[in-house]
Amino acid sequence: MNTDVESHYSAGGKLADRIAAKLESAGKNINELATEDLAPVDEFHIRGRKATLELGAQMNLNAGSIVVDLGSGLGGPARTLAETYGCRVKGIDLTEAFCEAANTLSAWLGLEDKVECTHGDATDLPFPDASFDAAMTIHVGMNIPAKDRMYAEARRALKPGGRFIVYDVIQGEGGAVHFPVPWAREASISHLATHEEMLSLLSHAGFKILKTQDSSEESLVWFQAMAKRIAESGPQPVSFHLLFGGDFPGMTRNQVRNLAERRIRTISYLCES
């Protein structure tokens, strides 16, 4: 299963080199980048950087905080939090190519001393107990059948009273998902939980759930705007298209359908250890 998931996200070649080439073709200087320049590709989740900032505002972060990002991808959310709050972030991701690219992108932005991404498994964290002040996972659980283990590991790695925020795609009441979607080209690596299952999983892991927020309507508008842009002018030079190639326009159209038909929902869960 892990191999299938990693294969889904591994597009071949050095990802950072391909991002650099696209940035340069768009007139960007690699030595003068801001985190916003990378957000269209490294904030790899629905509603992008805006959603990351909303989540970060709920995590009680400051310059002394140490955060773990489970399923850190290309490191966009980790860098956004490090830049905004001055905190340090340890990322872990199953896709080795993402970790390699994430660390290169952090160096471009001068954030390599704040953000470090490691290849590994979110259900078996390589960190001691009570290592972190806060934890987050953004659009990761959809690929993980053993969510109970991931949430238990997050609880173990958090200090008492630490905050854990989960922002994920949730199974809706409208029926089976239309594939392909960004997290799976077909059903075998898609493992969506319902809202009720999420509440149970997080509670059984030992978390107190402080707040839930359904952003599905905003997510639909976000995907509709993306689908319209792609139909009118094609994908942006630096975007999720770099990860999925020709499959991405179809994934975007399916996400509009999945959200409109309530086959999926986007919900965040603010928890405390």
pLDDT tier at 7, thresholds 50, 70, 90: confident
The tens digit of pLDDT for each residue in 166-209 reads 999 999 999 999 999 999 999 999 999 999 999 999 999 999 99
**pLDDT at 33 exceeding the cut of 70:** yes
**pLDDT at 11 exceeding the cut of 80:** no
Q: What is the pLDDT of residue 135?
A: 98
How far is 203 from 192, CA to CA, in rounded Å?
Answer: 18
How far is 71 from 65, CA to CA, in rounded Å?
Answer: 19
Q: What is the pLDDT of residue 95?
A: 92
Q: Which domain holds residue 252?
A: 2-272
Name the domain count of the chain: 1
Average confidence score pLDDT of the chain: 93
CB-CB contact of 69 with 137 (8 Å): yes
Backbone angles phi, psi at 209, to 5 degrees: -90, 115
Q: What is the CATH number of the domain that holds 265?
A: 3.40.50.150
The tens digit of pLDDT for each residue in 78-119 reads 999 999 999 999 999 999 999 999 999 999 999 999 999 999
pLDDT tier at 236, thresholds 50, 70, 90: confident
CB atoms within 10 A of CB 49: 18
**pLDDT at 120 exceeding the cut of 80:** yes
Cα 201–chain centre separation? 19
CB-CB contact of 35 with 109 (8 Å): yes
Strand partners, 168: 267
- Helix segments in the chain, DSSP class H: 2-9, 15-25, 35-42, 48-56, 76-85, 96-108, 147-157, 195-204, 216-233, 241-244, 248-260
Strand partners, 271: 164, 209
Neighbouring C-alpha atoms within 13 Å toward the C-beta of 179: 10
**pLDDT at 234 exceeding the cut of 90:** no
**pLDDT at 6 exceeding the cut of 80:** no
